[in-house]
A and B are shown apart, each in its own frame.
Chain A
Amino acid sequence: MPKPENCRFTKTHEWVSLEAGTAVVGVTDHAQREITDIVFVEPPKPGRQVKAGEACCVVESVKAAFDIYAPIAGEVMAANEALAKDAAVVNRSPQDEGWLFKLKPANPGEVNKLMDWDAYQAFLQTADAHAGH
């Protein structure tokens, strides 16, 4: 699974990693800490076409439901089936085993518009970073 340094990041705290033409999507460690105890993930159905920034997945903690947005446009290829049994994997391993879904990118170059690791780290220091989740 991807090293955070090799991922791209959204302002809504999703990460995306391109692996052999497939985009793997999850939430960042910052996001899982803000969401707190995750008890349920409702992933998008394979075959669904999503636009960049479209709410397509719901992550629920004990306290609240959080929309997860597609970082880039594409077609949903798969969801992380392991989360159906144990959604808390997203808390324990947000940037590895706790990935949420995979997309076939409409345009793989679109990821380059997103923040890299250093830019995301800088973003986390700003007040805007805490407006979303």
Chain B
Amino acid sequence: MTSTTSLRRTPLYDIHKKYGGRIVDFHGWELPVQYEGILKEHQTVRTAVGLFDVSHMGQIWVRGPQALDFLQKTNTNDISRIGPGRAIYSHLPNEQGGVVDDLIISCFGKERYFLVVNAATLDNDFAWLQKQAKGFQVQLENKSDYYGMIAVQGPKALGLISADLPQVVGLPRFGAAELDVLGQPGIVTRTGYTGEEGCELIVPAEHAPKVWEHLMSRGAALGVKPCGLGCRDTLRLEAGYLLYGSDIDMEHSSYEAGYGWVVKLDKGDFIGKAHFAKQKAEGVKRRLIGLKLMDRGVPRPGHQVSVDGKSAGILSSATFSPTLSAGIAMGYLDRPDLKPGARVAIEMHGRQVPAEVVRMPFYLSKELKNAKA
């Protein structure tokens, strides 16, 4: 047995045990990979509503007269595009044009911004941001231990929260609000990592169990279920969302990941801008490409990909897609020219399995498609 003494628990740990969660070590956190099963939980989020404990994620407040200037310097996206009550997805670039983390920034006032970052990168992000903050009139506060965070995701997510938080239903996609959540001050954003409609509730940690249990009982008739990290990964991969550390990192840029839309070269200076500008002008030599398996089997991260018999790269994320009933993957291929429909081969257990280049996302709910249009 491995020692669990150094692992951290979220405020919802006891609840995961109560609902039969199968606990694993996720970047140093004890979190449920599944309760009833990944396929069932995946289906619940695609057809009804699921609750995810994402309390391990990091929350950082950025406050002060130069909060916006500071965020403009440290982000690829144009943070001036959001005013109070709006959120935006962005990348934190490094000096070499790589990515320190991906994050969601909410604006709650000219001098008040709220960052949600990845759990595994939180400490590094906070140190990085503090270093960059020198010379700016800005205060950074890491409030990750103070908050618990619950993602409510699925076509019935808004129906579930409408009784308690009717304001959230009125928010647009990527809307953000500070409001009372069942008696405690919280933050709610119309965001998620599943490709479905929904929101994320950020509340004081000790209040999170009450919120969770309230949603479980109120949502019983809607078919709400607790959902683990296993289906979180299958859902996000179907939706074409990046997993930091696998699909994007210090060595892979936003352009290479196909996320050029989060890089705004016209907004003024930001860290690593020259590298990004050069890459945009010259084009990328490798690109994150979506693949769908044409035969049976399950691709996995690390599997080799070849094109016309020549090695072309490896898979960064891969799984069985419950919605498509097929293997799906994304990987960096040194063939940025490949178009949807092109054929590649993935080496799986010594077999060369044919796969097709497809446009990402592999799947997006009709609600989110409409929200995009």
Which A residues contact B (CB, under 8 angstroms)? 36-37, 39-40, 42, 58, 60-65, 84, 127
A130 and chain B: residue at smallest CB distance: B1
> Contact between A40 and B38 (Cβ–Cβ < 8 Å)?
no
Query: Does B37 sit at the interface, judged by CB under 8 A?
Result: yes
**Given the complex of chains A and B, what is the CA–CA distance between A40 and B37 in angstroms?**
16
A67 and chain B: residue at smallest CB distance: B349
> Contact between A65 and B1 (Cβ–Cβ < 8 Å)?
no
> Contact between B297 and A60 (Cβ–Cβ < 8 Å)?
yes
> Contact between A65 and B298 (Cβ–Cβ < 8 Å)?
yes
**Given the complex of chains A and B, what is the CA–CA distance between A42 and B296 in angstroms?**
9
Query: Does B90 sit at the interface, judged by CB under 8 A?
Result: no
> Contact between A37 and B296 (Cβ–Cβ < 8 Å)?
no
5 pairs of residues in contact across A and B, judged by CB atoms under 8 Å: A36-B34, A40-B298, A40-B320, A42-B349, A65-B298
> Contact between A84 and B349 (Cβ–Cβ < 8 Å)?
no
**Given the complex of chains A and B, what is the CA–CA distance between A86 and B91 in angstroms?**
41
What is the minimal beta-carbon distance from B359 to any residue of chain A, in angstroms?
Answer: 23
A63 and chain B: residue at smallest CB distance: B230
> Contact between A40 and B296 (Cβ–Cβ < 8 Å)?
yes
**Residue of A37, A42, A58, A61 contacting most chain B CB atoms (<10 Å):** A37
> Contact between A62 and B322 (Cβ–Cβ < 8 Å)?
yes
> Contact between A60 and B37 (Cβ–Cβ < 8 Å)?
no
**6 closest Cβ contacts across the A-B interface?**
A60-B298, A37-B39, A62-B38, A39-B320, A62-B320, A37-B37
Residues of B within 8 A of A39 (CB): 39, 298, 320
> Contact between A36 and B37 (Cβ–Cβ < 8 Å)?
yes
Given contacts A39-B298, A63-B33, 20 further A-B pairs with CB under 8 A are A36-B38, A37-B37, A37-B39, A39-B39, A39-B320, A40-B296, A40-B298, A42-B349, A58-B349, A60-B297, A62-B38, A62-B230, A62-B319, A62-B320, A62-B322, A63-B38, A64-B300, A65-B298, A65-B300, A127-B1
> Contact between A42 and B297 (Cβ–Cβ < 8 Å)?
yes
**Given the complex of chains A and B, what is the CA–CA distance between A2 and B322 in angstroms?**
32
**Given the complex of chains A and B, what is the CA–CA distance between A40 and B348 in angstroms?**
13
Query: Does B234 sit at the interface, judged by CB under 8 A?
Result: yes
> Contact between A40 and B234 (Cβ–Cβ < 8 Å)?
no
What is the minimal beta-carbon distance from B343 to any residue of chain A, in angstroms?
Answer: 21
Residues of A within 8 A of B234 (CB): 62
With A36-B34, A42-B297, A127-B1 as contacts: A62 and B349 at CB distance below 8 Å: no
B33 and chain A: residue at smallest CB distance: A63
Residues of A within 8 A of B319 (CB): 62
With A36-B34, A60-B297, A84-B296 as contacts: A65 and B320 at CB distance below 8 Å: no
**Given the complex of chains A and B, what is the CA–CA distance between A37 and B34 in angstroms?**
11
